[in-house]
Amino acid sequence: MPRVLACFMTALLDGQPLQLVDGGHARRTITYIQDAVDALTAMLERPKKAKNQFFNIGNRANEISMADLAHLRRDVYAGITGNASYKHHPIEEVSSEKFYGPGYEDCDRRVPDVSRAERLLDWKAQVDLRETLRITMGYFHDAYGKK
């Protein structure tokens, strides 16, 4: 099952409702891929500091509920396409059992502790959530949108 970024993008591209599992109350952090690559590069450039360590990578400043993410994605996509109707693209709530199947369990909040990466690697995520979505969604729109 694709995760929320792929599911929401596919729904926008296909004109389907964005589906909020269990009301969209779960919270996640979204990290731009270049920030993650920069963290990996920092590990490679500081092998003595990175050796035998584990690092959580993410952007704590980009924490958002899935409901708020759905609304933000609609707004960003309206800007990308120049079509204001996307600001009102349908959102529907579905149960986790309907979306994932019986027995699925998930946590309400995932926020990485990046303090070790900041301290040992002198790394910090740079790209805010709106810009992360603008870049990523713009790519998907250009590559997979109806032409």
pLDDT tens digits for range 112-141: 999 999 999 999 999 999 999 999 999 999
Task: Quick: pLDDT tens for 8-42.
Answer: 999 999 999 999 999 999 999 999 999 999 999 99
Confidence of residue 50 (pLDDT cuts 50, 70, 90): very high
Range of the domain at 92: 4-144
Q: Provide CB contacts within 8 A for 147, sequence distance 6+.
A: none
Q: What is the pLDDT of residue 106?
A: 79
- Whether 65 shows a pLDDT value over 90: the answer reads yes
Structure tokens at 122: 């002198």
The mean per-residue pLDDT over the stretch 39-48 comes to 98
List pLDDT tens digits, range 75-126.
Answer: 999 999 999 999 999 999 999 888 888 888 778 898 999 999 999 999 999 9
Helices (H), the chain: 4-14, 33-45, 47-50, 66-81, 96-100, 115-121, 129-144
Residue 62 has pLDDT above 60, yes or no: yes
Confidence of residue 2 (pLDDT cuts 50, 70, 90): low
* Confidence class for position 74, pLDDT limits 50, 70, 90: very high
| Count of domains observed in the chain | 1
Looking at residue 91, which CATH number applies to its domain? Answer: 3.40.50.720
On whether the CB atoms of residues 114 and 60 are closer than 8 A, the answer is yes
